[in-house]
Chains A and B, each alone.
Chain A
Amino acid sequence: MLVRLEQRPEASKSMIYVSPLIAVVLTVLTAMVMFALLGVDPVKAIETFFIEPVSSLDGLAELLVKATPLVLIGVGLSLGFQANVWNIGAEGQLVIGALAGGGLALAFFDQQSIFLVPAMLVCGVLGGMAWAAIPAWLKTRYNTNEILTSLMLTYVGLLVLSYLVHGPWKDPQGMNFPESRLFHDSALLPILIDETRLNVGALIALFVVVLGWILISRHIIGFQIKVIGMAPMAASFAGFKEKRLIWLTLLISGGCAGLAGVIELSGAIGQIVPSISPGYGFTAIIVAFLGRLHPVGVLFAGLLMALTYLGGDSAQITMNLPNAVTGVFQGMLLFFLLASDVLIKYRVRFGAPKINTEAAE
Chain B
Amino acid sequence: MADTPRLELIGITKAYPGVIANNNVSLKIMPGEIHALLGENGAGKSTLVKFIYGVQKADAGRVLWEGQEVQIASPNAARKLGVGMVFQHFSLFDAMTVEENIALGISPELTKGDLSGRIREVSLQYGLPLDPSRYVHTLSVGERQRIEVVRCLLQDPRLLIMDEPTSVLTPQEVDELFKTLRRLSEEGVSILYISHKLEEIKSLCHTATIMRMGEVVAECTPENETARSMAEMMMGADLVSPERTGRKVDGAIKLELRDLNVVSTHQHGTDLKDINLTVRAGEVLGVAGIAGNGQRELMEVLTGEVSCENPTAVLVDGIAAGRMDPNERRAAGVGLVPEERLGHGAVPDMSLWENAFLSAATRMNLTKNGFIQVAASTEFAEKVVEEFRVKTPGVTHFATSLSGGNLQKFIVGREIMQGPGVIVVLQPTWGVDAGSAAAIRQALINMAAEGAAVLAVSQDLEELFEISDRIAVICEGRMSEARLAENVTVEEIGLLMAGIGLEGEPAHAG
Contacts and interface: CB of A to CB of B under 8 A. Distances in A.
B214 A11 contact: no
A6 B17 CA distance: 8
A360 to B, nearest CB: 4
Given A8-B17, A234-B345, A356-B18, 5 more contacts: A218-B374, A226-B350, A227-B358, A361-B42, A361-B403
Contact of B367 (A220, A237, A361): A220
Contacts of B371: 218-220
Contacts of A236: 305, 326
Interface in A24-39: none
B506 interface: no
Tell me the dominant secondary structure on chain B's binding face: mixed
A234 B17 contact: no
Contact of B344 (A223, A234, A359, A361): A234
A221 B370 contact: yes
Given A220-B367, A223-B372, A234-B343, A359 B213 contact: yes
Contacts of A220: 361, 367, 370-372
A179 B57 CA distance: 70
A230 B330 contact: no
Interface string B323-342: 00111101000001010101
B20 A357 contact: yes
Interface in B446-505: none
Contacts, number: 102
Contacts of A241: 325
A10 B399 CA distance: 11
A234 B60 CA distance: 40
A254 B327 CA distance: 29
Contact of A230 (B305, B327, B349): B349
A355 to B, nearest CB: 5
A236 B15 CA distance: 37
B19 A359 contact: yes
Given A220-B367, A356-B20, A239 B330 contact: yes
Interface residues of B, number: 48
A220 B403 CA distance: 28
Contacts of A361: 19, 42, 213, 403
Interface string B358-380: 11011000010011101000000
Interface string A207-247: 00000000000111101001100110110111101000000
B335 to A, nearest CB: 12
Interface string B204-237: 0000000001100000000000000000000000
A220 B346 CA distance: 16
A12 to B, nearest CB: 12
A9 interface: yes
B401 A10 contact: yes
B350 A355 contact: no
A227 B346 CA distance: 9
Nearest to B337: A237
A219 B328 CA distance: 20
A353 interface: yes
Nearest to B358: A238
Interface string A2-18: 00001111110000000
B174 interface: no
A358 interface: yes
10 contacts: A219-B372, A220-B370, A220-B371, A230-B349, A239-B325, A239-B326, A239-B328, A356-B16, A356-B19, A360-B20
A-B pairs, top 7 by smallest CB distance, nearest first, are A239-B326, A239-B327, A9-B18, A360-B19, A233-B344, A231-B347, A359-B20
Contacts of A239: 304, 325-328, 330, 362
A360 B391 CA distance: 13
B60 A355 contact: yes
B199 interface: no
A165 B160 CA distance: 77
A238 B325 CA distance: 9
Given A234-B345, A237-B326, A219 B17 contact: no
A218 B374 CA distance: 8
Contacts of B344: 231, 233-234, 237
Nearest to A346: B17
Interface string B12-54: 0101111110010000000000000000001000000000000
